Structure 1
Amino acid sequence: MSNNSKKPIFAALAMIGAGASFAIVNGALQASTMQLGVPSTSAAFWQYALGLLVGLPFVLRRGFSALKTHQIGWHLARGVLAVIGIQLWVAGLARVEIWQAIALVMTSPFFVIIGAKLFFRERVGLIRWLATLAGFSGGMVILEPWTEGFSLAALLPVGAAAFWAGTSLVTKKLTATEDADSITIYLLLLLTPVNALLALGEGGIVPTGPALWLLVGAGALTVLANYLLTLAYQKADAAFVQPFDHLKLPLNIAVGFFAFGFAPSGAFWPGALVIVGASLLVMLDEQKRDTQVSTA
C-alpha cells in the first residue's frame, strides 16, 4: 500500500482521535463542575490556561513574527465570540447531561449557514435552508421545551453553538490573509486573560485534588484534540473526514454513560438522527458545489 493511499485512513483515525479527546475533555469538565463544584468560569480558565502552557512553545516556533497582523479587529472579534462560546459551553456542562449538550452543540453548522447569509451575503440555496430547518427541528425534539422537565439551562449549549459558529465565520475571513499560526496564537493570548477576569469575578477558585488533575488533563487533551483535528484536515479533503466528526456523538454518550451513568432519553434519538442527517446533507451540498467550481 502506498503512502498516498494511507493518508485518508490516517486522516480518519486523526479525526476519530480528536473526537475521543474532546469527549474525555467534556467528561472531565462535567466531573469538575457538576460533581466537584468548581465554578464553570474557573474550569474554563484553567482548561485554556493550561492548554496555552502546553501549546505555546509549538505555536511560537516562528518567534514574534507570528504576531504580525493587519486584522487586529477581526482577531479581537474572534476572541470575544470564542470566550462567550466557551463560557456558555462549560456552564452548560455544569448543568446539562453530556449527551444532551453535545447533540445540541452540533447545531453550530446551521448557525454558520445563517451567519454566512446575513453577514457575508453568501448564496445559501434551498437544500441548505431545508437542512438548517431540519437541524433546528432536531434540536427542538431533544430540548422538548413543551414538557415540564424543560430547563432554560438546556439552552446554554445552543448558545455556545451560535457563538462558535460566529468564531468559525471570522476564522474563515481571517484565513484569507492570516497564517494559521497567527490565528491560533492570537486566540490563545486573548482567551486566557478574559477567562481569568471572568473567573476572578466568580471567586477565582483554584482547584485542588481530583478537580485540579481533571482540569490539567482537560487542558492537555484540548491541545491534543486540536492538533489531531488539524492533521485530519491536512491529510485528506474536508468532505472525506467530516463524517467521522459525527462519531463525537456516540463517543460523548459513552463517556457520559460510563463515567456518570447518564443515558439519553427516548426523545434524544430521533432528534440526534435528524441533526446528523441534516449535517451530512450540508456536507454533500458543499461537496457538489466544490465539484461544480472545479469543473467550471
Structure 2
Amino acid sequence: MTAAPSRLGPAATGALLMVAAGAMFACVNTMLQFTTMKLGVAAPTATFWQYGIALIALLPWQGVGLSAFKTSHLPAHILRVAFGVGGVQLWGFGLANVPIWQAISLIMLSPFFVTIGAALLLGEKVTPARWLAVVLGFVGGAVILAPWSDAFTPWALAPVGAAALWAAASLMTKRMTATETPATLTLYLLALLTPLNAALALVPGAGGLAITGWQVIGALIVAGMLTALAQFALARAYAIADAAFLQPFDHVKLPFNVGLGILAFGFVPPGSMWLGSALIIGASSWLLAEEARRTRTA
C-alpha cells in the first residue's frame, strides 16, 4: 500500500488525492441535498450529524488517536475552524435551496477570494493581470447567479459566502501544513466543528439534533464517513504538493457534482452554467500561470 505513492512521486500522488477528494465530496453533496431538499431535514441538523459522524469515523482510522491533538498553535486552529464553521453552514443552506450544479459552480470562486485575501491579509503583491483574472472569475460567477433572471433566489448567494470563508480557511491550512500534520489539521477541524455545529443546530427554529428514518440516518452516515476521508485526502494533498499545481485537479469536482445531480435529482444545468464555469476555470488557470511566473521570477 505504501509502494505505489512512492513510485508515483509527491506531485502525482497529490493530484490523485485531490481528484479522490473531489469525487468523495460530490457524493457527500448528493447525500446532503437528498436529506435536506428531499427528506426535509434542516440544514444545521444535517451539518451537525455529517461532521459528528466524520469525527467518530476519523479517530480510529489508521491509528489516528488523541495524540494528534498535540499542537502549539491552538489559536490558529480555532481561527481556521471559525472560518470553516461559517463556510459549512452557508454551504448546507445552499445545498438545501439551490440545484447542486449552481452551488458547486459558485464554490469554484474560492481561488479568487484566496487572491484577494492574500493581497489584503497577507500583504502579497498582486499584479494587474491577476486582478483582471479575479474580475473575469466574478463575471463568470455573475453569469451563473443570473440575478436578472426570474429563477434567481437569494439562497444562491450562500455558496458564494461559503467560497469566501473557505478561501480564508484554505490560506490558513496551507500555512499551517509547515508545522502541523494532516491528521492534526483534520482532527482539529472536525473536533471543533462538531460542538459549534451542535450549538447552531440547537438555536430555536434551526431544526435541533433529532433525526428519524432509515433513509436519513443512512445518508448522513455515508456523508459523515466520506467527509472524514475526503478531508484527510485534501490535507495530505496540500502537504505533499504545491497548491498551484493541485488547483486544476480541484476543478474535476464540477463534472462529478453535475453528473450526480442529473442522476439523483434531474438537475440539468442550463448553458449559462457552462459559460460561467468556463470563465471561472479559465480565469483561475490564468491566476495559476501568473503565480508560476511570479515564483520563477522570485
TM score, norm. by length of structure 2: 0.89
CA deviation vs aligned residue, 1:31-88 (integer Å, no higher than 9, x gap): 000000010001101110000001123487464463332x332222212111110000
Change over 3 Å in CA distance of 1:65–1:215 after alignment to 2:
closer
Work out which of the residue numbers 284, 290, 294 in structure 1 matches 2:295. Answer: 290
1:43 aligned residue = 46
Whether the 8 Å contact between 1:199 and 1:205 is mirrored in structure 2 is: no
Give the secondary structure class of the aligned counterpart of 2:271: coil
Work out which of the residue numbers 29, 33, 52 in structure 2 matches 1:26. Answer: 29
How far did 1:173 drift? 4.1
**1:206 and 2:190 correspond:** no
Structure 1 range deviating more: 187-196 or 90-99 = 187-196
- Distance in 2, Cα, partners of 1:151 & 1:171: 32
How far did 1:216 drift? 0.4
Change over 3 Å in CA distance of 1:12–1:184 after alignment to 2:
closer
Change over 3 Å in CA distance of 1:233–1:25 after alignment to 2:
same
Structure 2: state its 5+ residue gaps: none
Whether the 8 Å contact between 1:38 and 1:207 is mirrored in structure 2 is: no
CA deviation vs aligned residue, 1:177-200 (integer Å, no higher than 9, x gap): 444443332222210001011112
Residue-pair matches, total: 292
- Distance in 2, Cα, partners of 1:248 & 1:261: 18
How far did 1:7 drift? 5.9
CA deviation vs aligned residue, 1:69-125 (integer Å, no higher than 9, x gap): 2x3322222121111100000110000100000000110111111111111111111
1:101 aligned residue = 103
Q: RMSD across aligned C-alpha pairs, in angstroms?
A: 2.4
1:122 aligned residue = 124
1:89 aligned residue = 91
Alignment of 1:26-175 (within 5 A): 26-58=29-61, 61=64, 63-64=66-67, 66-69=69-72, 71-175=73-177
- Distance in 2, Cα, partners of 1:167 & 1:60: 26
How far did 1:23 drift? 0.6
Change over 3 Å in CA distance of 1:241–1:165 after alignment to 2:
closer
- Distance in 1, Cα, partners of 2:5 & 2:214: 48
- Distance in 2, Cα, partners of 1:238 & 1:167: 14
Whichever residue aligns with residue 30 of structure 1, its letter is Q
Whether the 8 Å contact between 2:21 and 2:231 is mirrored in structure 1 is: yes
How far did 1:232 drift? 3.9
**1:251 and 2:251 correspond:** no
Change over 3 Å in CA distance of 1:25–1:62 after alignment to 2:
closer
Whether the 8 Å contact between 1:40 and 1:87 is mirrored in structure 2 is: yes
Whether the 8 Å contact between 1:59 and 1:185 is mirrored in structure 2 is: no
- Distance in 1, Cα, partners of 2:256 & 2:231: 17
CA deviation vs aligned residue, 1:199-235 (integer Å, no higher than 9, x gap): 1223323242101101100111112222333454456
Q: Percent identity of the aligned residues?
A: 48
- Distance in 2, Cα, partners of 1:2 & 1:11: 9
CA deviation vs aligned residue, 1:219-268 (integer Å, no higher than 9, x gap): 11112222333454456544443322111111100000001100111211
Change over 3 Å in CA distance of 1:190–1:267 after alignment to 2:
same
Whichever residue aligns with residue 162 of structure 2, its letter is A
Structure 1: state its 5+ residue gaps: none
1:219 aligned residue = 224
Give the secondary structure class of the aligned counterpart of 1:264: coil
Whichever residue aligns with residue 79 of structure 2, its letter is A
TM score, norm. by length of structure 1: 0.90
Structure 1 range deviating more: 80-89 or 52-61 = 52-61
Change over 3 Å in CA distance of 1:72–1:237 after alignment to 2:
closer
Whether the 8 Å contact between 2:23 and 2:253 is mirrored in structure 1 is: yes
Structure 1 range deviating more: 89-98 or 181-190 = 181-190
